Structure 1
Amino acid sequence: MNLGLVFEQGDAVLIFVFLSLVVMSIATWSIIIWRTFRLLKAKKANRVELEKFWNASSIAEAHKNVDAQYSPLAQMINESIELKNTYQQRQQPGNLAIQVPFDTYMTRHIRNAMTKALRPFESGLTTLASIGATAPFIGLFGTVWGIYHALINISAAGQMSIAAVAGPIGEALVATAAGLFVAIPAVLAYNALVRGNKTLSHELDSFAHDLHAQLAVEKKTQE
């Protein structure tokens, strides 16, 4: 099966189909490598920053020690501590913050900080889902188009032998195989990355309760 014949003998539509699948395949594997590396790096960084947090003697020391460059957990910690430190400054006449108790205020902002920290890990998932859903149909379209033109050419040439039919149709069927070759890794990677994001989200959500409790204790000791 010579794929070069597709580009040598195929028309513009069939060539466009194959080029589209090539671009989709490159995009899929680029996202897989990039997102997998980033997710694994974030989970490793979270373990390191979590240990730094619990080994700190105070919230201020924890805020100073944790590094939020690669860790969404550290990003959530830093942003929550900064909001806790500015809570008193927000309590001024006419400010809505004065009407919100500290526990409610911190619960809301820790949740927002967690969402913000997890948002970058959603990038690329829509592309993988779209490729996984559309690549098989693009390949099927290329096959149908290729078979149609192959039959037209065979009919015009008046050749009805098996050899004359099998060759062009076989080349056209490559488009379907190419579409599946692109779609299957995209779907598997999408499911794996979504699962990884859920695990990361559960880790942050579990720690968020401990962080809230620790900030509440810190505030009480300062009063």
Structure 2
Amino acid sequence: MNLMHTFEQGDAILVSVFLCLILMSVLTWYFIVLRGWRAWRTLRRNRRSEAVLWSADSWKAAEHQLAANPAPVTALLRDGLTALQQYQQHSGNALGRACSLDDYLTRALRKRLSQEQQKLEGGMTLLATIGSTAPFIGLFGTVWGIYHALVNIGTQGQVSIATVSGPIGEALVATAAGLAAAIPAVLAYNTFTRLNRVINQEMDHFTHDLHAHLLTHGDSNGIR
């Protein structure tokens, strides 16, 4: 069975099916590598940033040490400190009278947490789409290839194992190609969903602790 023969002898629809499945497979593995690297890097950066923050002597020292750190928890720290400073500066104005410090910090941290969580979802929709549609695209290619193989057999007027096995075998490869693209996408989607859940839980816990510290020790320099 020669796949190049399929590209040479197949019509535009069959060739398009194979090209679509190849593209899906390439995109799947690209996002597997990319998302895996990002998830591992995010976990490592978050844990290192938390260690630096809770060992710092003051809010200013922590902010200075984490100034160039791109970790999501560092972004939460910056927004939390910014919200605290803004509230303290306008505590006597309408801003301070409109809501409590608790509510103001909650809104600021919740907004940043939502933004960081959305970043973790990049590429997940594509993986889910490939995992759910690739088998059907491959099946369509198989049906289309078998149909044309039977039409050619009927035109030639000859039915034998040699005339049937080759064209139908090449058509069945489309189903295998669809599964080859779908299975890694489904496995990757489930794995990254679990990783995102772990990262989100850790950020939720950090946000809760940060909110409590800013609320109770916001006026002082010390963190601990």
| TM-score, shorter chain, exceeding 0.5 | yes
Asked if the contact 2:73–2:203 (Cα under 8 Å) also holds between the matched residues in 1, the reply is yes
Asked if the contact 1:143–1:172 (Cα under 8 Å) also holds between the matched residues in 2, the reply is yes
Pairwise CA distance, 1:68: 6.0
Aligned-pair identity in percent equals: 47
Pairwise CA distance, 1:185: 0.3
Asked if the contact 1:68–1:74 (Cα under 8 Å) also holds between the matched residues in 2, the reply is no
**1:72-221 alignment, distance < 5 Å:** 72-91=72-91, 93-95=93-95, 98-221=97-220
Please say which of residues 115-124 and 9-18 is displaced more in the overlay: 115-124
Asked if the contact 1:41–1:70 (Cα under 8 Å) also holds between the matched residues in 2, the reply is no
- List 4+ stretches of structure 1 deviating above 2 A: 67-70, 88-95, 217-222
Distance 1:192 1:87 in 2: 41
TM-score by length of 2: 0.93
Pairwise CA distance, 1:39: 0.7
Cα RMSD, aligned residues only: 1.5
Asked if the contact 2:84–2:214 (Cα under 8 Å) also holds between the matched residues in 1, the reply is yes
User: Quick one: which amino acid aligns to residue 130 of structure 1?
Assistant: T
Question: Which residue is equivalent to 2:19?
Answer: 19
Asked if the contact 2:17–2:141 (Cα under 8 Å) also holds between the matched residues in 1, the reply is yes
Distance 1:46 1:67 in 2: 14
Count how many residue pairs are aligned between Structure 1 and Structure 2.
Answer: 221
Secondary structure, counterpart of 1:57 in structure 2:
coil
Asked if the contact 1:143–1:174 (Cα under 8 Å) also holds between the matched residues in 2, the reply is yes
Distance 1:206 1:70 in 2: 19
Distance 1:59 1:165 in 2: 76
Secondary structure, counterpart of 1:123 in structure 2:
coil
Pairwise CA distance, 1:98: 2.7
TM-score by length of 1: 0.94
CA shift digits 1:105-153 (9 cap, x unpaired): 1122212111112221111000000111110010000000000000000
